[in-house]
Amino acid sequence: MITSRIKTYMFVSLLMFLFFLMLNCASSKQIHPQDVYLHPNADFSKYKRLAILLDFNQLPEERREGTLYYLLKEELEKRGYDILSRAFSIENLSDPKTLSYIRAALDISAIVKVTVNKYEFEKKEKSAEKFFSRMYKGSTRHPDWYTREYVFVYILDFSLVLGMIEIEQGNRVWSCSISCEKKEVEGSRHKFISQMIKDCLRTIPNE
């Protein structure tokens, strides 16, 4: 009797251990914003008119998609920002005279710098076969039929850093990074990236 109870206890304990192990593995694969920085004295209510700067220097030419700009622009506009431009060079951001010129020319309060460090994907095709039978009275011309449903998936490697630079002094007031590796994405990879951008932007105080 005692031996039986011990075995039962050990079996239940093992099941609980496996359950929490699987739960931990599943949660570790979730994609979350990382390295979030907020300037302690930043008043984000002042930064509503923005320009977007794209840094694709780490990417090969074929991966420098302008779609990434529009994804970020759309998500920023949903949060109430006015997006006025995206045409700047990376080097000029450290020059106070250039910042002053940009502020005067475009009447913006901050620049959102987008650094895409990695953007690789492989498109694969999944298919699921379905079998069905069609009955035709008095006819033997049509045997049983098969249908095949096609689903496209992407194996995505993506790494993005977002940062907000206030135009007055050139200080960084916010930054956030997010990434995924070998992530299987069904359907639109851009929709998935858009969600990653959205998750990062949620770390900005909503004032």
Instruction: Give the pLDDT confidence of 47-79 residue by residue, as tens digits.
Output: 999 989 888 889 999 998 989 999 999 999 999
| Residues 30-119+158-181+188-201, CATH architecture | 2-Layer Sandwich (3.30)
CA-based R_g, the chain, Å: 26
Q: Which pLDDT does position 33 carry in this prediction?
A: 95
Q: Which pLDDT does position 87 carry in this prediction?
A: 58
The domain spans of the chain are 30-119+158-181+188-201
Per-residue confidence band for 20, with pLDDT thresholds at 50, 70 and 90? very low
Better pLDDT: 145 or 165: 165
182: left (phi over 0), alpha (psi -120 to 50) or beta: left
107: left (phi over 0), alpha (psi -120 to 50) or beta: left
Q: How far apart are CA 98 and CA 106, in angstroms?
A: 12
Model confidence pTM above 0.75: no
Q: Which pLDDT does position 5 carry in this prediction?
A: 58
